[in-house]
Structure 1
Amino acid sequence: MKRREIYSDLRCIPPVIVRIDGRNFKNALARMGFEKPYDEKFTSAIVKAIETFFKKSGLSPVFAYTFSDEISFFFRDDAFDGRIEKLDSTIPSYISSAFSMVLDLEEPVSFDSRIIPIHEEDVREYLIWRQNEAWRNCINSYAYYTLISEGMEEQEAARMLKNKVSSDMHELLFERGINISKVPTWQRRGIMVMKKEIEIEGFNPQLNVETTSTRTKVFAEYEIPLFSSEEGAAFLQKILAKNTEE
């Protein structure tokens, strides 16, 4: 029967991105009473689950980029020797457990997973792509749930927004007093979770001197730049360069 495990030796060569997505989250979270289009408690739980993964999973992503119920982990090392089945099962199951524990959910939730082999010089292009999706998700969600709040049925709202471009939804929202460019940055651009060095002051009683040491802390940045901008390129370059030194 061991010979039937024909996929167990499939491997990927780093660097890779492992992207996980919530499965059927829309209906599950609606039943749990989360606010729409964005719920700060939900987002905080996603971030805390990612931070727990950095600290306790035994794996070492360089960073994680998240928006909505999507998380992209970037790995330089060959976690699990690159075994695809391990990566695609361990990472989403860990996040599912951590997320559920943070919120003490009444029903189970799950994430699915996919692996994207990538050259490091293409990481920025990948993040631009996902950040564009974060923006599309943001404006679509605000438009959809604004119409729902006005009493429109779900199918009617979806039909009304079908084939509308970003500028159309911008105008739709602006007419209703919502300036989408003023909503919180993390809703429009997503959130980056990464390691950050901090200095800690202390005291050595044996030498009777004050001391300074460096510690690595997992840090979530809610105010990230556009990755397509020069500021975004510098922001990402700093993260990647720092982790290369480590």
Structure 2
Amino acid sequence: MKFNELDKKMRVYETAHDHSVLPGIYIIARIDGRCFTTLTKDKHSFEAPYDPKFRDMMVETVKHLMQCGFKVLYGYTQSDEISLLLDLNENTFERKERKLNSILAGEASAKFSLLLGDIGAFDCRICQLPHRQLVIDYFRWRNEDAHRNALNAHCYWSLRKEGLSPEESAATFTKMSVVHKNEFLFQKGINFNDLPNWQKRGVGIYWESYEKDALNPITGEAVKASRNRLKVDLKLPMKNQYSHFVGGLVPEII
């Protein structure tokens, strides 16, 4: 059998289940760390419940993903997860899901592993959202999840540091309300409202324009040139203000 015939025969098994995101559909890539509890608590002993060094590694990973060949409008990270909003007209690899999933997971894993000096693996899934409000709702969902996780984590680790077991610490808060969790922390000397916003709301990364000094190549005159750079926002707004903020980053479908 000639190579071209063999290639045509076998290629169908590789591509038969290819799915591409339809034009006009918003794409969000959700990227999660694999077994990161073991990696960050047992193998590398990051500070619990939050460590600025780990946060910075995740931020640098997001920045890498936003510059690795896809047009990404907004990156968001909390804990060991990353969410990326791709440009509505992004058409790299013809919007094939398997390519988006594999490349973004691979790029995240490679970058984070280099930063950590150990193997850190990520998986990726693609969310297909048909209208702008769902994009806003998605990021609002992750923002609220970060807040809930932060409250639970500070409660849990306050008891772990007092010597309670993982099971005992978790069981203490199983049916406790948000109000009572806040009061519990207050009695431990922690005002949850005063904790750093990046712990409670995650970190946003987006493009901003700035001006720099330059020379006109024709006249040699000094001019101002407009450039784009990534901005890391550690103080994201809350609730409806955050929804409005995200809305400003999401283009309308025309």
Q: Tell me the SS of whatever aligns to 1:113.
A: strand
Q: How many residues align?
A: 238
Which residue does 1:117 correspond to in 2? 128
1:38-187 equivalences in 2 (<5 Å): 38-55=50-67, 57-75=68-86, 76=88, 77-105=90-118, 108-118=119-129, 119-187=131-199
TM score, norm. by length of structure 2: 0.87
The CA distance in 2 between the partners of 1:97 and 1:82, in whole Å, is: 22
Decide which moves more: 20-29 or 231-240: 231-240
Q: Could you tell me whether the CA contact under 8 Å between 1:8 and 1:85 is conserved in 2?
A: no
Residue type of the alignment partner of 2:214: G
Q: Is residue 2:25 matched to residue 1:19?
A: no
The superposition leaves residues 155-208 of structure 1 with CA deviations (integer Å, 9 ceiling, x where unpaired) of 111111212222221111111000111110111111111111111123459745
The CA distance in 1 between the partners of 2:48 and 2:227, in whole Å, is: 38
The CA distance in 1 between the partners of 2:173 and 2:244, in whole Å, is: 36
Q: Tell me the SS of whatever aligns to 1:225.
A: coil
Q: Find the structure with the greater CA-based Rg.
A: 2
Q: Tell me the SS of whatever aligns to 2:237.
A: coil
**Unmatched tracts of structure 2, length 5 or more:** 1-9
Q: Could you tell me whether the CA contact under 8 Å between 1:8 and 1:83 is conserved in 2?
A: no
Which residue does 1:235 correspond to in 2? 245
Q: Could you tell me whether the CA contact under 8 Å between 2:105 and 2:122 is conserved in 1?
A: yes
Q: Could you tell me whether the CA contact under 8 Å between 1:202 and 1:212 is conserved in 2?
A: yes
TM score, norm. by length of structure 1: 0.90
**Unmatched tracts of structure 1, length 5 or more:** none
Q: Tell me the SS of whatever aligns to 1:17.
A: strand
The superposition leaves residues 49-108 of structure 1 with CA deviations (integer Å, 9 ceiling, x where unpaired) of 1112222x1111111111111111111223321211111111011011111112223xx1
Q: CA deviation at 1:124?
A: 1.2
